[in-house]
Amino acid sequence: MRATAELRQSEVRACEAFLNALYQAFRHANGPGLPLNNVSLDWAEDPANRMRPVPLGGWHAAWFRLGLCEVYVRLRRDGGRFVGEYGPRASFSQEGVSEEELLVLARRMLRELVAEQEGKMQDRGAVN
């Protein structure tokens, strides 16, 4: 029981550290086509979790405010990888957690979220 608790705590710390590092990457991810002036992180419970503490392999989550957009990111460990879901239907699988690798992930996520928002804006314009 103690070994399982230690593994679970280790996984929680790793997932929380990854989400926090992703927050830091978002803060530095702005650039051409990626306007970003206000980034915040709010920890959240994942509704898929039916137990506390979260079991091994369970989801950890946070809301990220990225300028005028907010996105829910859920994350779990799968072997040596971090697997995540965000936005309406996007996902990622990340093994590397260096600052540069997370910056690349943050920029990709931003581009996908901007494209999603622009697509919705175009859809609304076409309907009117």
What distance in Å separates the CA atoms of residue 123 and residue 103, rounded to the nearest whole number?
Answer: 30
Residues in Cβ contact with 113 at an 8 Å cutoff, skipping those fewer than 6 apart? 66, 69, 71, 86, 87, 90
20 compared with 124, residue with greater pLDDT? 20
| Distance from chain centroid for Cα 64 | 8
Beta strands in the chain (DSSP E): 39-44, 60-66, 69-78, 81-86, 90-94
C-alpha closest to that of 61 among 48, 43, 49? 43
**Taking a C-beta distance cutoff of 8 angstroms, is the pair 71, 87 a contact?**
yes
Which domains occur in the chain, in start order?
2-127 (3.40.1000)
pLDDT above 50: residue 99 = yes
Output the average pLDDT for the chain: 87
Mean pLDDT of 99-106: 96
The pLDDT assigned to 1 comes to 64
Percent of the chain past pLDDT 90, that is, above it, reads: 52
* pLDDT exceeds cutoff 70 at 34: no
Percent of the chain with pLDDT over 70: 89
The predicted model scores a pTM of 0.86
